[in-house]
Amino acid sequence: MNDSLVISVSRKTRPSETLLRRLMAALGVLFLLAGIMFSTAFMLPCFLTVLCYYWYRHASKREYEYTLEDDTLKIDRVSDRGRDRQYEIPFDRIILLCEPDAPEAMPYKKGGTVQVVKEDYTSYREDIPYYTVIVRDEPKPLKLLLDLTPEAIRMIRRRNPSAVRLTGTGWEKFSPNVTNN
């Protein structure tokens, strides 16, 4: 089967990031004006502030792309410089796919019985549901937070039905022929 699905996720900017960028821009302009009017010694802080602004603007931009192909989930970070592969996970290594507050996810939460490495690849938008994906990895399991569409959940369920445990989310309306475990 050559099924493939690509989901693009761009992270919502926080108000603190916007404030910090505006503050850096204002300081850059202030140092430039001070350098023109008073002393050229203010040009170095102006130059450094502008460099910090551009570095922070590119570093704070977060866009991700989930690719579900055949039996693999690939997670890439997309930036101006290209793609950076974060993870390539076979579907059979997925232990659990559920809502973040589901009882099955409780052992994997902070302070739970199982120590995990947590990675957040969500958009931080309130209107988009996100899911917890637990992956069997060495030496610790991997906990991924992902914005998955109903089509992506169906694709994972077809390949690894024992891992998907969704109840009462309403996603069943997109796939009436699929029953929960």
Biggest CA pair distance of the chain: 74
pLDDT tens-digit series, residues 111-154: 888 888 888 888 888 888 889 899 988 788 889 899 988 888 88
Q: Tell me the pLDDT band of 26, cut-offs 50, 70 and 90.
A: very high
3-state secondary structure 133-158: EEECCCCCCEEEEECCCHHHHHHHHH
Which tokens go with 7? 């989901």
Are the C-beta atoms of 96 and 131 separated by less than 8 Å? no
Closest CA to 68 of 161, 2, 131: 2
Predicted local confidence at residue 138, as pLDDT: 77
Would you say residue 61 has pLDDT above 80? no
Task: Name the packing angle between helices 43-60 and 15-37 (round to 10°).
Answer: 160
pLDDT tens-digit series, residues 162-178: 888 877 545 454 444 54
What are the residue ranges spanned by the domains of the chain?
A: 10-60
Q: Give the rounded percent of residues in the chain with a pLDDT score beyond 70.
A: 90
Predicted local confidence at residue 1, as pLDDT: 53
Per-residue DSSP letter, 127: T
Which tokens go with 174? 């997109």
Predicted local confidence at residue 15, as pLDDT: 83
Predicted local confidence at residue 176, as pLDDT: 44
